[in-house]
Structure 1
């Protein structure tokens, strides 16, 4: 269920000049913030949690997911070039799964690696904070990629809706409104960070670990399945 040609084309589209620039900006900003905070404050566990949780996991990871998830398929649907791909002898579920794999890989690389480096800069991975948030970023990357890939298949305004979700729901409501927290990928991923880090480090999620794992799996599978179903409804000229 993986096609190398589709993967190569998707990587090329995602890592083109404009999108690659966007993908690099946020991780670079995180590293700059980490260096500045370390120089000003020194190694402090609470500060590390605030930076990695408050900016990196809450804002950077979902935004990178928006760029990678929607960019994996949305532009091809918008400009009509998807018809050339659909004309190839490749099953449509294979196309979706391949594009999801690429989106996940890109999101993980541009969020997980900078998260780990920033964590080590901030406090040297004291209390396993750097590793904990890296695990959260990697797991969140999977769910975000599935959600935003789905958005790319169902709407021509996928980037706009993705930004609304990432900036308003995840960053704002996901942190401030108790009820919204239980429906936030950020909080589900945070449950894994809480389990990975030392118990007294101050990482807290409103969702239990088992519930979080189930919700992450459901959202990922459901989003991928529905994206495949929507791609099936796209017809080529001459098809019945």
Structure 2
């Protein structure tokens, strides 16, 4: 019941249309590339990486996931759950799973279509696996962010653009703390393309994703346990 309410709250018409349009832009670009005969130098996985995993997946996850708890705080609806004997971890889990339910079709459908337009079966599999890793990890982190600040969208954009887009690109150590490293590595491993130097193996990617989701969930639960709700 709680998860259904969260899904209805975050899956507003405006958000769904806006994010779907971003995905449609990628598909239209893919159609244009396919019709232009890009030549043998074109690597489909590189475009899927650049548009899908660097831009689309984190952006959509940010918009949807920060709203799961963030909307309840802004609208002061969280107090109703406080009045019931509901464990805070259940709220965290419902928010995270609710975000994932919304994100799965919103992300995987356009990414799968884009991969099929410009690439091979390996490219499609790679972008779907990379996107799935991104959905799980980003949704956990951005759900946590929504529990801490009403400016979660701004903070999340700073993380995506500054940390993942700039700092992680200049520092290999910082790169290990960027979720993008693991989504891109998943694509590279499945599609068998060189997108990064020495990308982590699939087992490491899965373990890191689980660890990130668990840590973010614990921090979110701690935040819910310690915050005052009017």
TM-score normalised by structure 2 residue count = 0.90
| Separation in 2, partners of 1:205, 1:115 | 24
Q: Is it true that 1:195 corresponds to 2:195 in the alignment?
A: no
Number of matched pairs = 229
Q: What RMSD in Å do the two structures reach over aligned CA positions?
A: 2.1
SS of 1:41's equivalent? coil
Does the CA-based 8 Å contact 2:76-2:229 persist in structure 1? no
Does the CA-based 8 Å contact 1:148-1:162 persist in structure 2? yes
Does the CA-based 8 Å contact 2:74-2:150 persist in structure 1? yes
Q: Rate the CA distance shift 1:40–1:155 in 2: closer, same or farther, 3 A.
A: same
| Separation in 1, partners of 2:209, 2:140 | 10
Q: What is residue 66 of structure 2 aligned with on the other side?
A: 70
Q: What is residue 206 of structure 2 aligned with on the other side?
A: 213
| Separation in 1, partners of 2:180, 2:197 | 9
Partner deviation per Cα, 1:81-122 (whole Å, 9 max, x = no partner)? 211232234222111101100112222222222111100000
Q: Rate the CA distance shift 1:107–1:176 in 2: closer, same or farther, 3 A.
A: farther
Q: Is it true that 1:58 corresponds to 2:54 in the alignment?
A: yes
| Separation in 2, partners of 1:78, 1:146 | 19
Q: What is residue 34 of structure 2 aligned with on the other side?
A: 38
| Separation in 1, partners of 2:99, 2:229 | 25
Q: Is it true that 1:161 corresponds to 2:150 in the alignment?
A: no
Q: Is it true that 1:107 corresponds to 2:103 in the alignment?
A: yes
Does 143-152 or 68-77 show the bigger shift? 68-77
Partner deviation per Cα, 1:51-98 (whole Å, 9 max, x = no partner)? 100111011100111011101110211232211232234222111101
Q: Rate the CA distance shift 1:68–1:180 in 2: closer, same or farther, 3 A.
A: same
Q: Is it true that 1:17 corresponds to 2:13 in the alignment?
A: yes
Q: Rate the CA distance shift 1:34–1:176 in 2: closer, same or farther, 3 A.
A: farther
SS of 1:23's equivalent? helix
**Where do 5+ consecutive residues of structure 2 fail to align?**
none
Partner deviation per Cα, 1:208-240 (whole Å, 9 max, x = no partner)? 224333322221100011101111123456xxx
TM-score normalised by structure 1 residue count = 0.86
**Structure 1 residue ranges, 4+ long, deviating more than 4 angstroms after superposition:** 42-45
**Where do 5+ consecutive residues of structure 1 fail to align?**
none
Q: Is it true that 1:132 corresponds to 2:113 in the alignment?
A: no
